[in-house]
Structure 1
Amino acid sequence: MEKKKRFLTLFGKALNVELVKMPGQIPFKMYQRHGYKASVVFYKGYDKFTYHKNVLKGLRLILLKDEGKFMGLDRSLLKFLFKYGKKIDVLHRFHYYPQTMVYVIIYKIINPKGIAYVTIDNDLEGLKIHPYSLLFKHSANFIRNFIAYNIIEPLFLKKVDLLSNETRQGTERLKNLYKKYANKFFYQPYGIDETFIKERNIRVKNFEEKENIILHVARIGAPEKNQKMLLEVISKVNLGDWRIIIAGPYEEADEFLKFVDEFFKKYPHLKEKITFLGNIEDREQLYNLYNRSKIFVMTSNRESFGLVMVEAGYFGNYVLTTNVISAMDITDNERCGDVVPIGDVEVFARRLQYAIDHPEYIKEKAERMKIHVRNNFLWEKVVDRLQEQIEMLRK
């Protein structure tokens, strides 16, 4: 009997929610669909991890003590690699950082036959700062930057086997930037776990069964989510019998909550229209919220992907978003939703008002979105593409 191959995602400091996003879903689906002995490495003490017990059954969660840094690298991850690197068939790591590059180089020295795969998970804003490398400055130290750009990155690009980016635009930009290694880059979006939905008999409601809810799911108060813009948009829209639900954990929220207080003083009639739910850990509860709502809005200044748009689209929401890097992929170039310029309150408000006033318009786009998500953004299909890349390397 052939020995099961080991797939390991080396992550580090994380919250429980990372398990139901790419750091947990990729290894879990590689176990579920392709028979790997799959694990993810997190640090203990930063959150209570539960999703691997009730949502991702079969995924092994390895919890390490955070032992601090050694020359900018995580001591615990280094020790783990040196001890177990030879036993890992596929090493998966996130982010195009110098630390990731060093871990990959060490792994490939320890285990030359192993496959090193890096998910870049970056909105590519760094290219505006340093157009010749995705490695924008991680340190003010000239010597460290010189070593990163001129020694570590070139060696990493030779050693690494696969590099993925979650948007088509981003993938093409990276292939053009690193032409010599273009064959190592491939498009790998985020997805939604349809198996989980089917196992729990969650039925996607049709448009007529849904409520007049405009939904926003994000980290509340995080500057890049730009929820101040969302409230400004709402103040310019005639909601009629529609209401707004904002869900997500509070993060760096003090300034935003002060803004909310001032907003409701200025627009007291909107207080009964807008509900802040806070964090929803239970995936079924969150999916129920998507299932009830008709419109999903996102006003972010930047996103590496924006998985919530895919989740909302799966449950038949019309998606209205700012033009973050993934917007055209997720809306299929606006065939399944609408995209407005980042920060443009007036245009966003006009589009939202049109959506509220034209139910047949948003119903048609939402139906297209459901098909688009099922064809392109299921975790099952995402990891099948990854496995194809791995098998090509093994030939």
Structure 2
Amino acid sequence: MKKIRFCTLYPRGSAVEFYKDVGQIPYTLAKMGKAEATMICCYATKEEADLKKMPELHYEQKKMLCGNQTLTGLLYLLTHARKIDWLNVYHGGRHCYYWIKLYKLLNPKGKVYLKLDLSYAGCEMYQNSEKERNIFEKTATVSDIVSVESKKIKKLTAEFTKQNIRVVPNGYINEAETIPQVNREKQFITVGRLGTPEKATDILLEAFAQSANSHDWTLKLVGSVAQDFQTWLEDFYNRYPEIKERIIFTGPIYEREALYREYRKARVFVLPSRWEAFPLVGPEALHNGCRMILSDTIPPIEELTGNLAYGEVVKAADVESLKEALIRETERNTAEQEAEEIATYAREHLSWYSICENLLTEMEGEI
């Protein structure tokens, strides 16, 4: 079978995109031997992208024209549209609509995959703005495949378009097929930009402190800490000095295998975010055998808990709800094989390989 010429057009992208869906989908399709994949960004050099780890992916850095991603994308398509079988774009704004219209004008047989990456807030924008809703409908209509990351968001976006919406979740980078057997500690873990409003680190720390007398677990927090969170943290330790030794801040961990080792030490991953779209740390935690506690503002609850088989949901920004969930997890009689079962679920549903296999089937159905 002839390889698909697949191009991800994302002018505003930087080096970090290569390890998110923007980079992992074209890379995985190429690694599977199914595509000649190209990625277009403006804010990452080849050295920053570290392409030695992604040799199958062809990357081109382009200059952003007048700070305008719409113009940058249009210029690229003027000279490359006929060389692309599948154009992959993100988020569904006006720029995507203009790109798709030009692409299909120059290449009538070309196909388009639009990946939306929507949160509940994004859906509310479409619900509240007829203008934005109309441009979304136009963009979806001229696309061949439109996907969101969760069943809950699919249900909401179905109100805005007659186009069939697929679910294509985000995945984890697959360093190893199986996780090594480890003796897990009595530990909760969270990973992210700590102390930012959306991550609700304050809620997590308060809930842990209030639950601490009911168990002997520790809490590990991985990631950078917002500067303006330090004052809150000092006050927190003044109020709960007795648990300071049970709370571990590691700082950011950039080396993936080192981060995965931290996941594997813990039993439960906690993400009490006030808002999210599809947190990439979720599939990582599952891949490494962690159970999940997630707030109800995170749309992919079903996808990240195996329909609640591997975790539970708490009310966002609710200390009492999270406190009770933490205590319940410490009281569970967890079977030794559960971590392996969770990792198997992640491998079958949330590895980039399994995700791209399903996407490829959808793409072949459109040809």
TM-score (norm 1): 0.84
4+ residue stretches of structure 1 with deviation over 6 A?
A: none
Which amino acid counterpart does residue 235 of structure 1 have in structure 2?
A
Structure 2 counterpart of 1:67: 65
Q: Quote the offset at 1:25 in angstroms.
A: 0.9
Q: Mark the CA change 1:258 to 1:68 in structure 2 (over 3 Å): closer, same or farther.
A: farther
Higher mean Cα deviation, 331-340 or 45-54? 45-54
Q: In structure 2, what is the equivalent of residue 393 of structure 1?
A: 366
1-structure distance, mates of 2:280, 2:242:
32
Alpha-carbon offset, residue 58 of structure 1: 1.4
- Give the secondary structure class of the aligned counterpart of 2:360: helix
Q: Deviations over 1:222-245 (max 9, x none)?
A: 321111111111211227543222
Question: Is 1:321 matched with 2:294?
Answer: yes
Instruction: Kindly state the Cα deviation for residue 97 of structure 1 after the two structures are TM-superposed.
Output: 1.7
**Using the alignment, how far apart are the partners of 1:93 and 1:316 within structure 2?**
32
Quick check: 2:140–2:146 contact (8 Å CA) kept in 1?
no
Say yes or no: does 1:351 pair with 2:349. no
Residue 368 (structure 1) shift: 4.3
Q: Which residue of 2 aligns with 1:246?
A: 221
Q: 1:331 Cα deviation (Å)? A: 0.9
Q: 1:301 offset after TM fit, Å?
A: 1.4
Query: For 1:233-286, what per-residue CA distance to the aligned partner results, in whole angstroms no more than 9, with x for missing partners?
Result: 121122754322211245xx2322322222122222333222222222211111
Once residues 24 and 295 of structure 2 are traced to their aligned partners in structure 1, the CA distance between those partners, rounded to angstroms, is 26
Given candidates 251, 254, 268, the residue that maps to 1:295 is 268
Question: 1:18-61: per-residue Cα shift (whole Å, max 9, x none)?
Answer: 2122111100111011431112122236996244322x231122
Q: Which residue of 2 aligns with 1:57?
A: 55
Percent of aligned positions with the same letter in both sequences? 26
Matched, 1:20 2:19: yes
How many residues were matched structurally?
Answer: 365
Write the distance in 2 (CA, Å) between the matches of 1:22 and 1:305. Answer: 10
Distance 2:232 2:335 in 1: 31
Give the CA RMSD over aligned residues: 2.5
Matches within 5 A, 1:1-395: 4-44=3-43, 49-54=48-53, 56-70=54-68, 73-131=69-127, 146=131, 150=134, 152-178=135-161, 180-182=162-164, 185-194=165-174, 196-198=175-177, 203-206=179-182, 209-238=183-212, 241-250=216-225, 253-323=226-296, 324-358=298-332, 360-361=333-334, 366-394=339-367
State the SS of the aligned residue for 2:10.
Answer: strand
Query: What CA deviation, in whole Å up to 9, does each residue of 1:343-390 have, x standing for no partner?
Result: 2210111110221233x2476764543332222112111111111111
CA distance in 2, matches of 1:107, 1:189: 26
In structure 1, C-alpha distance between the alignment counterparts of 2:299 and 2:271, rounded to whole Å:
13
Runs of 5+ consecutive residues of structure 1 not aligned to the other structure: 138-144
The TM-score with structure 2 as length reference comes to 0.90
Q: Amino acid of the residue matched to residue 171 of structure 2? A: G
Equivalent-residue separation in structure 2 for 1:111 and 1:221 (angstroms): 47
Give, as a single letter, the amino acid of the residue that structure 1 aligns with 2:107.
N
